[in-house]
Protein backbone atom coordinates (compact mmCIF):
# COMPACT_ATOMS: atom_id res chain seq x y z
CA UNK A 1 0.00 0.00 0.00
CA UNK A 2 1.31 3.43 -0.94
CA UNK A 3 0.39 6.68 0.80
CA UNK A 4 1.47 10.05 -0.61
CA UNK A 5 1.47 13.33 1.29
CA UNK A 6 2.65 16.80 0.35
CA UNK A 7 3.86 19.62 2.55
CA UNK A 8 5.06 22.71 0.73
CA UNK A 9 7.86 21.62 -1.61
CA UNK A 10 8.30 18.17 0.00
CA UNK A 11 6.63 15.03 -1.31
CA UNK A 12 6.31 12.19 1.23
CA UNK A 13 5.75 8.65 -0.04
CA UNK A 14 5.20 5.82 2.44
CA UNK A 15 4.98 2.26 1.13
CA UNK A 16 4.08 -0.60 3.44
CA UNK A 17 4.98 -4.12 2.33
CA UNK A 18 6.83 -2.86 -0.73
CA UNK A 19 5.27 -1.50 -3.90
CA UNK A 20 3.43 -3.19 -6.73
CA UNK A 21 3.04 -2.02 -10.33
CA UNK A 22 0.06 0.22 -9.54
CA UNK A 23 1.92 1.81 -6.62
CA UNK A 24 4.91 2.51 -8.87
CA UNK A 25 2.67 4.17 -11.47
CA UNK A 26 0.95 6.29 -8.81
CA UNK A 27 4.33 7.27 -7.35
CA UNK A 28 5.79 8.33 -10.70
CA UNK A 29 2.70 10.42 -11.45
CA UNK A 30 2.86 12.14 -8.05
CA UNK A 31 6.59 12.87 -8.38
CA UNK A 32 6.16 14.24 -11.91
CA UNK A 33 3.29 16.52 -10.85
CA UNK A 34 5.21 17.70 -7.78
CA UNK A 35 8.30 18.58 -9.81
CA UNK A 36 6.15 20.43 -12.32
CA UNK A 37 4.85 22.62 -9.49
CA UNK A 38 8.10 23.28 -7.58
CA UNK A 39 11.45 24.37 -9.00
CA UNK A 40 13.25 23.28 -5.83
CA UNK A 41 11.61 20.11 -4.55
CA UNK A 42 12.46 17.41 -2.03
CA UNK A 43 11.26 13.82 -1.78
CA UNK A 44 11.03 11.59 1.29
CA UNK A 45 10.39 7.95 0.44
CA UNK A 46 10.04 5.18 2.98
CA UNK A 47 9.54 1.53 2.04
CA UNK A 48 9.00 -1.14 4.68
CA UNK A 49 9.22 -4.92 4.36
CA UNK A 50 10.00 -5.35 0.68
CA UNK A 51 9.00 -8.86 -0.38
CA UNK A 52 10.79 -10.53 -3.28
CA UNK A 53 7.76 -10.84 -5.56
CA UNK A 54 6.78 -7.21 -5.16
CA UNK A 55 10.41 -6.11 -5.24
CA UNK A 56 10.79 -7.61 -8.72
CA UNK A 57 7.74 -5.72 -9.97
CA UNK A 58 9.03 -2.43 -8.64
CA UNK A 59 12.51 -3.10 -9.98
CA UNK A 60 11.05 -3.48 -13.48
CA UNK A 61 8.67 -0.53 -13.15
CA UNK A 62 11.03 1.95 -11.53
CA UNK A 63 13.26 2.34 -14.56
CA UNK A 64 12.20 5.86 -15.28
CA UNK A 65 13.18 9.32 -16.28
CA UNK A 66 11.29 11.96 -14.35
CA UNK A 67 10.28 15.13 -16.24
CA UNK A 68 11.74 18.28 -14.66
CA UNK A 69 14.17 16.07 -12.69
CA UNK A 70 16.49 19.06 -12.32
CA UNK A 71 13.88 20.48 -9.90
CA UNK A 72 14.57 17.58 -7.52
CA UNK A 73 17.20 18.80 -5.04
CA UNK A 74 17.05 16.30 -2.16
CA UNK A 75 15.89 12.70 -1.73
CA UNK A 76 15.71 10.86 1.60
CA UNK A 77 15.51 7.08 1.12
CA UNK A 78 14.35 5.19 4.20
CA UNK A 79 14.31 1.40 4.33
CA UNK A 80 16.40 -1.68 3.70
CA UNK A 81 19.80 -1.51 2.00
CA UNK A 82 18.60 -3.80 -0.82
CA UNK A 83 15.66 -1.54 -1.63
CA UNK A 84 17.83 1.58 -1.45
CA UNK A 85 20.35 0.08 -3.87
CA UNK A 86 17.65 -0.79 -6.42
CA UNK A 87 16.00 2.59 -6.16
CA UNK A 88 19.32 4.42 -6.50
CA UNK A 89 20.34 2.33 -9.51
CA UNK A 90 17.21 3.50 -11.29
CA UNK A 91 17.21 7.13 -10.10
CA UNK A 92 20.88 8.12 -10.26
CA UNK A 93 21.30 8.07 -14.05
CA UNK A 94 18.57 10.69 -14.33
CA UNK A 95 19.00 12.92 -11.31
CA UNK A 96 21.59 15.21 -9.78
CA UNK A 97 19.67 15.41 -6.50
CA UNK A 98 21.44 14.96 -3.17
CA UNK A 99 20.36 11.45 -2.20
CA UNK A 100 20.80 10.34 1.40
CA UNK A 101 20.10 6.90 2.87
CA UNK A 102 18.54 6.13 6.24
CA UNK A 103 17.74 2.85 8.00
CA UNK A 104 14.11 2.36 9.02
CA UNK A 105 14.85 3.19 12.65
CA UNK A 106 16.25 6.58 11.54
CA UNK A 107 13.11 7.87 9.82
CA UNK A 108 12.77 10.86 12.17
CA UNK A 109 16.35 11.87 11.33
CA UNK A 110 15.49 11.50 7.64
CA UNK A 111 12.43 13.74 8.00
CA UNK A 112 14.50 16.34 9.83
CA UNK A 113 17.15 16.27 7.08
CA UNK A 114 14.65 16.56 4.21
CA UNK A 115 12.85 19.48 5.90
CA UNK A 116 16.01 21.62 6.28
pLDDT tens digits for range 44-57: 999 886 555 444 44
* Distance from C-alpha of 14 to C-alpha of 11, rounded to nearest angstrom: 10
Q: What is the pLDDT of residue 35?
A: 94
The dihedral sign for the CA sequence 51, 23, 72, 48: negative
* Distance from C-alpha of 99 to C-alpha of 76, rounded to nearest angstrom: 6
* Distance from C-alpha of 22 to C-alpha of 105, rounded to nearest angstrom: 27
Q: Among the CATH numbers 3.20.20, 3.40.1350, 3.60.21, 3.30.750, which is that of 2-114? A: 3.30.750
Nearest to 23 by CA among 68, 59, 67, 69: 59
Model confidence over 22-72: pLDDT tens digits? Answer: 888 899 899 999 999 999 999 999 988 655 544 444 544 455 567 788 899
- What residue ranges do the domains of the chain occupy? 2-114
Amino acid sequence: MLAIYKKDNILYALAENGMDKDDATMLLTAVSEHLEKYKSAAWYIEVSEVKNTRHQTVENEMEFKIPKQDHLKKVALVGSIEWQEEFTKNLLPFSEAHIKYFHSEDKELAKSWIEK
